[in-house]
Structure 1
């Protein structure tokens, strides 16, 4: 089932009426979903494509089929609809039919090249260099170069990949110039076929004014490779450097144990407040050493320890001072006379 504008001046494309409603044999026919709007406030549109009504139709010569169609009328616009009996063709079948049509004469493309380069050689610089291995459509070398007869550019795209893409999502748009490129307008370029068959190791070609072409090889940077002797010298030097650095680092690890970053602070920073000495502890002068390095051998212990106590003898308690206690205490006045 297809819809289009009722206009006979030129061929019409599929075009759905607004608020379309289709029923086939009393059952609602599903239509293509609305596309999300590209801008805020824009009304979403339904893509106009042929509607497959085969699942709802009665495939019998004796039983009739009924189709009911409704839409919102528009002033000055009329619509037409038609039902076609078609068979879906795969991309493989379409490629075979395209090959069966034949290849366009290479002289036609050469004449187009001469026309472009002779008119203004400086303005068509982009068209004189064509990519063969990595075209805009796909990332592999062209197998069947084709383009639409309505396209004015020389660049071709791969026919097999183009048909496969349109089999999944039919847009039929040229990937080079973004113009309409329907299947009936596709042709296989004979000049490109000759180039692909004779030039298998180049990515780009350059055309001249007489229509001839030459491969463009990519520029490769010259890289100097060191000889075996130089490589051994570099390797030995690097090993010596690594071993000396590891030796120095091991010696530094033995000498340096603690690094105090606060001792080497900048003059702009405020000095931290001095720590109050703990009662009963005496300051021990630190040994002279490099700035910012503390020696563990002369570092005072952070925990105060009592001096070692000698063994206690029997006369230790007799030497202790005895406080002066009076044998009797005067009784308070409240307690006197209670005995």
Structure 2
């Protein structure tokens, strides 16, 4: 750290103001954005793990927003990581004409050596904009550091894989709460406090900043749709996409205790268990600087994070389910499954035949195992080995309360993106409803390996199938 002479010739620390200014991205680096093209700005945003959509002005404003925000700067890996990304792209853009010999334009150019290439980058920087001697030294040092990466076209930004994984797990824990893009960070949308690991003694105390835009969002007309949530994830949890609070957890924000899932030591949460997040009300957390304190009596590794989320409606959650495959493809998958053809190409399914049982005909129930009613939209998880289905609407409504997102038949994980709408049973139900009368109440159908089906004899009301 920089020091200055104090009284009696002793060295003292630099003023606090100087140390705080060192956290900001260098203005000379920010000014380089004015000379870049839209594709270059998009490349920077990809390296910083942010959205690259929009025109040039929007892309530049997004990069500047990251550079000017302390929270976003830390989420992107720190000021030096951002400066490396920007200077890397700028050197490639401004120094491209120095990378080849004068005959390169005609196709006969020869690539220069690494030293000549870096020298070309420095000359490009000097020709583009006159700099002071100190700034030119910084540029030359940066060019020497990233020259190899520039020449190979590789990315110069390495994100924290652990923090990114923790954040993704927290986002996937409850699809009914969508991360709100305030601020808009692709890897951590809605970030208020980045993932913080509890210490060896199970204690963490960390300040966080609630910006004016975030506070206005929480107190606005639509404030019931938004929450400031504190979430906790166990690092080596056997169920990755769930929230898990440690034993004897205690949470305080600005010395105000908040209700949290309380669990005695020794009563570990089972595989089907789910913990709710801690909602931090506006008033306990204030605009500006706040302090979070978390303590527990658990030797396992836990990570806490804070984000702003928006409530999704059931229709929005169902919109996350992939579109159903066509009827011919669904029928072909069913035929392969009945004839012993394995998963039929369903992603994530097991193609091994160790436990395979081949039957002549299969009887499929049209009732949802959750509600007991005839399915309206039959669905199953991608990893289901059987052909049994459940009703999509009932399944989503159930998980709005229990947050388990597991298949009621086999217990496999079944989040919205992992569901498959059964195109074959959808066609069968459509035919039965179109016939009307007793056919609409058929609850089981018998399916042949060829794909032909008919209502089961005890449910028969409308004759043959298809």
- In which range does the TM-score fall when normalised by the shorter chain? 0.5 to 0.7
Match of residue 66 from structure 1: 291
Q: 1:93 aligns with which of 309, 316, 329?
A: 316
1:115 aligns with 2:336: yes
Deviations 1:149-181 (A, max 9, x none): 121221111111111111122221211112221
Deviations 1:168-208 (A, max 9, x none): 22221211112221222122221121111012312211111
Secondary structure of the 1:218 match is: helix
Q: 1:127 to 1:212 in 2, by over 3 A?
A: closer
Match of residue 399 from structure 2: 166
TM-score (norm 1): 0.53
- Residue 118 (structure 1) shift: 1.9
Secondary structure of the 1:113 match is: helix
Deviations 1:79-104 (A, max 9, x none): 21111211122324323x147x4222
Secondary structure of the 1:163 match is: helix
RMSD: 3.4
- Residue 138 (structure 1) shift: 1.0
Secondary structure of the 2:233 match is: strand
Match of residue 16 from structure 1: 245
State the alpha-carbon separation in 2 of the partners of residues 43 and 10 from structure 1: 17
TM-score (norm 2): 0.40
Match of residue 280 from structure 2: 54
- Structure 1 residue runs of 5 or longer lacking an equivalent are 36-40, 221-339
Secondary structure of the 2:445 match is: strand
1:206 aligns with 2:446: yes
> Is the 8 Å Cα contact of residues 98 and 187 (structure 1) preserved in structure 2?
no
Q: 1:192 aligns with which of 405, 425, 429?
A: 425
> Is the 8 Å Cα contact of residues 250 and 296 (structure 2) preserved in structure 1?
yes
Displaced runs of 4 or more, over 6 A: none
**How many pairs are equivalent?**
208
Match of residue 200 from structure 2: none
Match of residue 143 from structure 1: 376
Q: 1:127 to 1:173 in 2, by over 3 A?
A: farther
- Residue 129 (structure 1) shift: 0.6
Q: 1:146 to 1:117 in 2, by over 3 A?
A: closer
1:105 aligns with 2:326: yes
> Is the 8 Å Cα contact of residues 339 and 358 (structure 2) preserved in structure 1?
no
Deviations 1:230-250 (A, max 9, x none): xxxxxxxxxxxxxxxxxxxxx
> Is the 8 Å Cα contact of residues 24 and 57 (structure 1) preserved in structure 2?
no
Match of residue 2 from structure 1: 231
Which structure: greater helix fraction?
2
Match of residue 306 from structure 2: 83
Match of residue 92 from structure 2: none
Secondary structure of the 1:178 match is: coil
Match of residue 130 from structure 1: 364
State the alpha-carbon separation in 1 of the partners of residues 266 and 301 from structure 2: 24
- Compare CA radii of gyration and give the structure with the larger one: 1
Q: 1:85 to 1:131 in 2, by over 3 A?
A: same
State the alpha-carbon separation in 2 of the partners of residues 115 and 207 from structure 1: 12
> Is the 8 Å Cα contact of residues 16 and 48 (structure 1) preserved in structure 2?
no
> Is the 8 Å Cα contact of residues 232 and 244 (structure 2) preserved in structure 1?
yes
Secondary structure of the 1:66 match is: strand
- Structure 2 residue runs of 5 or longer lacking an equivalent are 1-229, 342-355, 434-438, 461-466
